[in-house]
Structure 1
Amino acid sequence: MSFSFFRPSRPKTTQEFVKGVKDSLMALDTKTVVEVKALEKALEEVEKNFSTMRCMISGDGEVEPNVDQISQLALEICKEDVIALIIHNLHILGWEARKDLVYCWAILLKQKVGSTYCCVEYVENHFELLDSLVVSYDNKEIALNCGNMLRECVKFPTLAKYILESASFELFFKFVELPNFDVASDAFTTFKDLLTKHGDMVAEYLNIHYDEFFNLYEKLLTSANYVTKRQSVKLLSDFLLEPPNAQIMKRYILEVRYFKVMMTLLKDSSKNIQMTAFHIFKVFVANPNKPPEIKVILSKNHEKLVSLLHNLSGGKGADDEQFEEEKEIIIKEIERVSHLPNLEH
């Protein structure tokens, strides 16, 4: 007599597990709204699978994760096109499943198999998946999950470069002003990462796309939304004044229209915005190669500007001392320019 039914079932191999994940995700595609029960069952199966995947990757508190198994998991989800299925079905998944997925995504992207980040390589071969994640900011249910996933992607230069150069990058100028504050803030965080994580690459991008980028960026700096304006002038200061962007900055500070934007921000009712704008304004003024138009503007407005700068004060401490020194230098330069002969007023 056989009692084999009392024996514990054989643990699934990584290949079998990933096949199960794939099947559960594909089941979501085959269900219609009419088959509510079937869809619920499929969603439960996906949630269970993602929970198991998280345990495989992070351990369960008692058993440490198996490094070889994680490598195998990364390989298999690429081989079975599970990454594409995950992104295409994100909008259907429940909250718990999405939370586990975002956790797993961050670790699997960084997982090396030999000398290759296989999940990154998969995305490089399916760049349209990055576009799908970007446009998902328009869906507030999954926007924050997609934002987290995007920021993990942006850590890798090839993926960041694709997003920067894609048509979908322009959408960030819209997303950072969405009415939902959490989504807009998250979009701005991703936008900031794209412009600050890889300095040389960003400098190359800005050099090629200078006009279209700064045309769009000017709208953020002049936005009626206080948060957008404050974040945008701070971000501009963060990336424009960095060494890799030295050539971009030299080009920017020759532009009369952007000088006028900084003058307006310098008069903003927010001290925070005024102080940040000053750090860009001072570069325009200190530029030894100022265009004649900027000299004329400084000369015509020198009394108002000097008065404004005298009333502008930082906090306390070493930073404030440096600020006061810089301010005095800028005031002296404005006074000097105002006394130049042959300026067309």
Structure 2
Amino acid sequence: MSFSFFKPSRPKTPLEVVKATKVSLMALDIKTVVEVKALEKAMEEIEKNFVTMRCMLSGDGEVEPNADQVLQLATEVCKEDVLILLVHKLPILGWEARKDLVHCWSILLKQKVDSTYCCVQFIENHFELLDFLVVCYDNKEVALHCGIMLRECIKFPSLARYILESASFELFFKFVELPTFDVASDAFSTFKDLLTKHLTVVSEYLTAHYDEFFDLYEKLLTSSNYVTRRQSLKLLSEFLLEPPNSHIMKRYILEVRFLKVMMTLLKDSSKNIQISAFHIFKVFVANPNKPHEVKVILAKNHEKLLELLRNLSVGKGADDDQFEEEKELIMKEIERVSGLPNHDC
């Protein structure tokens, strides 16, 4: 009796994986792919190639990835322009393929070849890919996948800087209020990363675009949506009170319109919003160089403000003593300003 054994197929090289992936992604462009069967076949090939790529990048659970192969794969993905295809084909891929693509994307971006993040450098030469990913928040089917990919990009200062300074950034002020809660929340996570991950980049952006940014941000703080108001207020205190943004904060607390926004938020029906508003409001009041207009507003509204503050408390806890101490100092300052003669106000 003779036995025949199937010879195991030779594992693909990184170059072969990349070329096969490229061919399968480009197949979706061929005009002849009109038949359902042909489309299904193309999708199957893509899924199969993504699984192979994912195993090469992160191992299969039993075998660890080969570091040299991972670097070679990252290099070839850039050489063959596959990163462009990965982004542009995302909306027409199936769920599993998208999931694998996102997984591969995060690993590829972290690969350093000759002390350079080759995939990040590729994106720097194709910034339109970032614009495409931002706009995808308008597509419910892929919004969450694109969000993950964007947040991976934002880890790198050069890519975060581009998004902040691009026309696409303004879209986030719309996306954070989208009716689909999951998508709006994801957009806010990306928005938050853009404003908190790289303090120097953010400081430079806010300095150059102060008026347009805070005009848009004021709309978030006064939104009819409770979640938007609360998240935006919390985020404002996070980036505004960072040391690199001290010059931005000093400018912000000179403006009466922003003081009025905080005073309105102090009256919000939500205690959480009231307390967050207090932490920004107190900076307006404590400012030793308050402009005349700010003093006038505080003096005119001192009774209502004092009543609001008397009723405001964080409840029992470790922060309670400090909060009460700060509140007392702010109330004394409001009383002092209200007692000044009008010409001093």
What interval of TM-score do these two structures reach, taking the shorter chain for normalisation?
Answer: over 0.9
- Change beyond 3 A, Cα 1:225–1:33: farther
Q: Distance in 1 between matches of 2:312 and 2:327?
A: 9
Q: Please list the CA deviations of residues 13-62 of structure 1 after superposition, one character each: whole Å capped at 9, or x if unmatched.
A: 21111100000000011156732211111011111111111111111111
Task: List aligned pairs for 1:13-92, cutoff 5 A.
Answer: 13-31=13-31, 34-92=34-92
CA contact (8 A) 1:296 1:343 kept: no
Shift of 1:104: 1.0
Q: Distance in 1 between matches of 2:280 and 2:268?
A: 14
TM-score (norm 1): 0.97
1:10 — aligned with what? 10
Report the secondary structure of 1:18's partner residue: helix
TM-score (norm 2): 0.97
2:326 — aligned with what? 326
Give the residue type in structure 1 aligned to 2:342: N
Task: List aligned pairs for 1:143-154, cutoff 5 A.
Answer: 143-154=143-154
Aligned-residue Cα RMSD (Å) equals 1.6
Further displaced range: 331-340 or 4-13: 4-13
Q: Distance in 2 between matches of 1:190 and 1:315?
A: 32
2:157 — aligned with what? 157
1:340 — aligned with what? 340
- Change beyond 3 A, Cα 1:338–1:122: same
CA contact (8 A) 1:240 1:248 kept: yes
Shift of 1:130: 0.3
Report the secondary structure of 1:63's partner residue: coil
Task: List aligned pairs for 1:1-345, cutoff 5 A.
Answer: 6-31=6-31, 34-343=34-343
Which structure 1 residue ranges, 5 or more long, are not aligned?
Answer: none
Report the secondary structure of 1:185's partner residue: helix
Give the residue type in structure 1 aligned to 2:262: M
What fraction of aligned residue pairs are identical, expressed as a percent?
80
Shift of 1:85: 0.4
Report the secondary structure of 2:319's partner residue: helix
Q: Distance in 2 between matches of 1:113 and 1:90?
A: 26
Q: Distance in 2 between matches of 1:111 and 1:189?
A: 24
Q: Distance in 2 between matches of 1:94 and 1:74?
A: 23
Q: Distance in 2 between matches of 1:220 and 1:88?
A: 31
Q: Distance in 2 between matches of 1:139 and 1:108?
A: 24
CA contact (8 A) 2:50 2:101 kept: yes
Give the residue type in structure 2 aligned to 1:76: E
Report the secondary structure of 2:60's partner residue: coil
Further displaced range: 199-208 or 316-325: 316-325
Give the residue type in structure 1 aligned to 2:249: M
Give the residue type in structure 2 aligned to 1:36: V
Q: Please list the CA deviations of residues 169-226 of structure 1 after superposition, one character each: whole Å capped at 9, or x if unmatched.
A: 0000000010000000000000000000011110110011000000000000000111
CA contact (8 A) 1:74 1:118 kept: yes
Q: Please list the CA deviations of residues 118-149 of structure 1 after superposition, one character each: whole Å capped at 9, or x if unmatched.
A: 00000001000000000000000000000000
Further displaced range: 117-126 or 308-317: 308-317
CA contact (8 A) 2:17 2:52 kept: no
- Change beyond 3 A, Cα 1:179–1:32: farther
Shift of 1:252: 0.2
Further displaced range: 7-16 or 279-288: 7-16
Q: Distance in 2 between matches of 1:25 and 1:119?
A: 19
